[in-house]
Amino acid sequence: MSKPKETLNPFEIARTQIDRAGKKLNLDAGMLEILKNPRRELTVHFPVKMDDGTVKVFTGYRVQYNDAVGPFKGGIRYHWNVSLDEVRALSCWMTWKCAVMGIPYGGAKGGVICNPKEMSKDELEHMTRRYASEISIIIGPEKDIPAPDVYTDGQTMAWIMDTISMAKGFAVPGVVTGKPLAIGGSLGRDEATSRGLMYAVREAAKKMKLTLKGATVAVQGFGNVGMHFARLMHDEQGSKIVAVTDSKGGIFSEKGVDPKEVLAFKEKTGSVVGFPGTKPVSNEEVLELEVDILAPCALEGVLTSENAPRVKAKIIGEGANGPTTPEADDIFHKRGIVLMPDILANGGGVTVSYFEWVQNLSEFFWTKSEVDQKLEGVMVGAFNRVWDMREAKKVDTRQAAYMVAINRVVEAYKWRGIFP
């Protein structure tokens, strides 16, 4: 694959997206400058005792992008490619995500540069606890509430919750979301991002008069988001999952696969690759398959000006954060491909995080159907606000989502004013 011409720096991309929407909204230069900068950035370097007795120093970040609307909110990522600019971009996207969903949070994100695949459970626990302790000066249920992201999960959140609780001397469940049920997690949080993505794709399909029953779906990334999305589309919409990939490669089947069987296979072998009755497909090829729905559910910067002309899907649902460059956005828009942008499409995760936090603060828990119903209401509401903006202003769906989100944050600034 040849290299795209455009930048893949996620923070530069995030700022371009703000510029584009800002122009359409006629934002004044000062406000634009505020929105293009994070409020607070914490970098921590901390030692961890490894299993072999050596000490390794890790670097982590927590960027608190904007809290005009409410407390900071956003996940923590463990990945070898984590950088300050990536965390800045992700925290920026969290700001717009919470705003477009209409939930009362600002945006933040954390990350630690590490390779979790090469670390033991003990090493991960020690690293997580020390990182939590380092960022404890700025997180808390009323300040900034972390959650899972790439290569972190309920166990990671449980360690953070315990670390913060030990320092306080009492349990503080509301300090993180995405926790296991036994310590104050919410029913439905596991699959929430994917369920929300399914609703977003369903609403887009309705507008395009595309029937989801029997529609073909390709999913890049078979982690928490991609796996549940494939399962829900298969089980609840009757769609045909023709391709899925993970970091080791992927599988293609014209007949379609049952994601639950693929998951069982992956749990045994460590990858979807080699699932019986399928042909191999690469992480690049999966994006260009002849399918109705394409869901990039892995990492940033995979849809660029280089491959966008060859994408054949009718709907793109961004399960991942930042998978598409602005140049690729323009190409999709011109080609009539409807893209459900990350800040809307994968907003179901943080929405149920919000529900979890509300349940923690009120110490009263909801049933799974209450969670799903409320999530559907929030997703459909956000979708309609974005779609109306798209139609009214004749912009693509990403710009429409940014315009809805930015309007909300700007309104918060208007009421609060600029201190002092």
Q: How many residues bind ligand GLU (CB under 6 A)?
A: 12
Query: Residue 245 or 353: which CB sits closer to ligand GLU?
Result: 353
Question: Is residue 73 near ligand GLU by the rule CB under 6 A?
Answer: yes
The residue number whose beta carbon is nearest to ligand GLU equals 75
Q: What is the DSSP letter of 346?
A: T
Q: In whole angstroms, how close is the CB of 172 to ligand GLU at the nearest point?
A: 16
In the list 86, 125, 149, 292, the residue contacting ligand GLU (rule: CB under 6 A) is 149
Contact between 44 and 135 under an 8 Å Cβ cutoff? The reply is yes
Nearest alpha-carbon partner for 40 in 61, 11, 24: 61
Q: d(Cα 240, Cα 217) in Å, to the nearest integer?
A: 6
Question: Is residue 237 near ligand GLU by the rule CB under 6 A?
Answer: no
Biggest CA pair distance of the chain: 65
Known catalytic residue at 240: no
Query: Residue 291 or 303: which CB sits closer to ligand GLU?
Result: 303
Tell me the window of 72-80, 197-205, 368-376, 406-414 that interacts with ligand GLU (CB under 6 A): 72-80
Strand ranges of the sheet holding 72-79, from the earlier edge strand across to the other edge: 40-49, 55-66, 107-113, 72-79, 144-148
Question: Is residue 74 near ligand GLU by the rule CB under 6 A?
Answer: yes
Structure tokens at 96: 């717009």
Q: In whole angstroms, how close is the CB of 109 to ligand GLU at the nearest point?
A: 8
In the list 91, 220, 307, 353, the residue contacting ligand GLU (rule: CB under 6 A) is 353
Q: In whole angstroms, how close is the CB of 318 to ligand GLU at the nearest point?
A: 11
CA angle 156, 157, 163 (to 5 degrees): 95
Query: Residue 220 or 353: which CB sits closer to ligand GLU?
Result: 353
> DSSP letters of 87-150?
HHHHHHHHHHHHHHHT-S--EEEEEEE--GGGS-HHHHHHHHHHHHHHHTTT-BTTTEEEEE-T
Question: Is residue 191 near ligand GLU by the rule CB under 6 A?
Answer: no
Question: Is residue 75 near ligand GLU by the rule CB under 6 A?
Answer: yes
Helix ranges restricted to H, 188-223 = 192-208
Tell me the window of 278-286, 332-340, 347-355, 403-411 that interacts with ligand GLU (CB under 6 A): 347-355
| Given the residues 73, 109, 240, 314, the one annotated as active site | 109
Q: In whole angstroms, how close is the CB of 253 to ligand GLU at the nearest point?
A: 30
Tell me the window of 121-129, 297-305, 332-340, 348-356 that interacts with ligand GLU (CB under 6 A): 348-356
Tell me the window of 24-32, 79-87, 207-215, 342-350 that interacts with ligand GLU (CB under 6 A): 342-350
- Please report, for residues 209, 363, 383, the alpha-carbon distance to residue 195 in angstroms, rounded to integers and kept in the order given: 20, 25, 14
Subset of 170-189 contacting ligand GLU (CB under 6 A): 177
Query: Residue 177 or 283: which CB sits closer to ligand GLU?
Result: 177
Question: Is residue 278 near ligand GLU by the rule CB under 6 A?
Answer: no
Distance between first and last Cα of the chain: 52
Q: What is the DSSP letter of 313?
A: -
For 226-344, strand residue ranges (E) read 240-246, 249-257, 279-281, 293-296, 315-317, 338-340
User: What residues are labeled active site?
Assistant: 109
Binding site for ligand GLU (CB under 6 A): 73-75, 97, 147, 149, 177, 321, 346, 349-350, 353
